Amino acid sequence: MKPSVLVAAGCSWVAGAFMDCDPTETEFDYNHIVNAEFRNTNSFAGLLQQRLGLDTVHFIAQDGASNDNQVRQLTSFVDSNQHNYSRIFVLWGISSIYRWETYSAVLNSVEDNTYGRVNHKPGIEEELKYYFSHFWNQDYELEKLGNKILLLDGYLTSLNIDHLFVNSFQGYSATKLKIQNIKDKNFYLSTDSENDLVSLLCRRNRIYIKQSTVPFLNLLRPAAKQMNSSNIRELQQLGWLDRATAHPTVKAHQLIADELYNYIKEKQQ
């Protein structure tokens, strides 16, 4: 009999980055790779897979991945593997519009780019600066993301694949994305402007939700400490985000898994 699977797409929040590290440490290792068995068992994607009664979890999520990357990888996986499983559930953790994917002439490859990152591959800094200053526009990026959400929702629906899209750390409501025809059961709190997982953690801890004017991207550099808003710092102090990189800790993954599972079950009624 074919197995069932939860396919987890997204960036480092879905990939469980740093969740097996000491959350009180203030230094980080660029080369750290999360233990796969620990992640499968304790990440919110892995916990959701278990609670939904699916046989296994497959991670497409990658640290720093843009939404372009995530949708491309996800559709490729589904197209190639849909007949290998008895049931597929897709969990997509939508990343920030301040990440994008472009072709690099310098590297002769497609690369993920991030606003403000300093550890990009050598040789493409000038390309990134030029692209962001000449071709990037917030309203346009929001509209493009809305189109991606609608198209992916329609694609998965056409294949009878259950799915849930959720904003990882920046809230994008359906209104902000200029989309209307998506069901709540497929897009977590679709009409709420604070429908991301950071806001969820804040609400559960009665922390004031402050929307920063600077995009929160888990930037791995000292300047990131200056960019983190007060709600991020409070979540770090309370142990919901780790101090070094501001990624969800084990207990945060558990809370998120509970919330998403209850949401799925409520919307199925």
* Residue-wise pLDDT tens digits, 128-166: 888 889 999 999 999 999 999 999 999 999 999 999 999
Q: What confidence tier does 242 reach under pLDDT thresholds 50, 70, 90?
A: very high
Q: What confidence tier does 81 reach under pLDDT thresholds 50, 70, 90?
A: very high
The residue segments making up the domain with residue 192 are 4-268
Residue 67 has pLDDT above 90, yes or no: yes
pTM over 0.75: yes
Helix axes 67-81, 138-158, angle to 10 degrees: 10
The answer to whether 7 touches 93, Cβ cutoff 8 Å, is no
- The CB density around residue 133, as the number of other CB atoms within 10 Å, is 8
The percent of residues in the chain predicted with pLDDT above 90, rounded, is: 71
Worst-scoring range by mean pLDDT, 74-88, 123-137, 174-188, 224-238?
A: 224-238
Cα(94)–Cα(66) distance, integer angstroms: 9
Residue 220 has pLDDT above 60, yes or no: no
Q: What confidence tier does 250 reach under pLDDT thresholds 50, 70, 90?
A: very high
Number of domains observed in the structure of the chain: 1
Mean pLDDT across 84-90 = 98
CATH number at residue 249: 3.40.50.1110
> What local confidence, expressed as pLDDT, does residue 221 receive?
47
The SS3 call for residue 164 is strand
The phi and psi torsions of 103 (rounded to 5 degrees) equal -85, 130
Q: Residue 90: left if φ>0, alpha if ψ -120 to 50, beta else—which one?
A: beta
> What local confidence, expressed as pLDDT, does residue 218 receive?
60
Radius of gyration of the chain (CA): 18
Cα(57)–Cα(53) distance, integer angstroms: 11
Mean pLDDT across 3-13 = 97
Residue 219 has pLDDT above 70, yes or no: no
Average pLDDT, the chain: 90
Residue 224 has pLDDT above 60, yes or no: no
| Cα→Cα distances 108→11, 13, 132, 178, 225, Å | 23, 28, 19, 34, 34
Mean pLDDT across 223-244 = 79
Q: What confidence tier does 256 reach under pLDDT thresholds 50, 70, 90?
A: very high
Residue 178 has pLDDT above 60, yes or no: yes
Q: What confidence tier does 118 reach under pLDDT thresholds 50, 70, 90?
A: low
> What local confidence, expressed as pLDDT, does residue 226 receive?
41
Residue 210 has pLDDT above 80, yes or no: no
CA torsion through residues 207, 213, 218, 223, sign: negative
Helix (H) or strand (E) holding 19: none
- Type of residue numbered 109: S
The answer to whether 172 touches 187, Cβ cutoff 8 Å, is no
Mean pLDDT across 198-212 = 87
Residue 181 has pLDDT above 50, yes or no: yes
Output DSSP code: residue 99: E
The answer to whether 91 touches 48, Cβ cutoff 8 Å, is yes
Higher per-residue pLDDT: 109 or 27: 109
The phi and psi torsions of 87 (rounded to 5 degrees) equal -155, 140
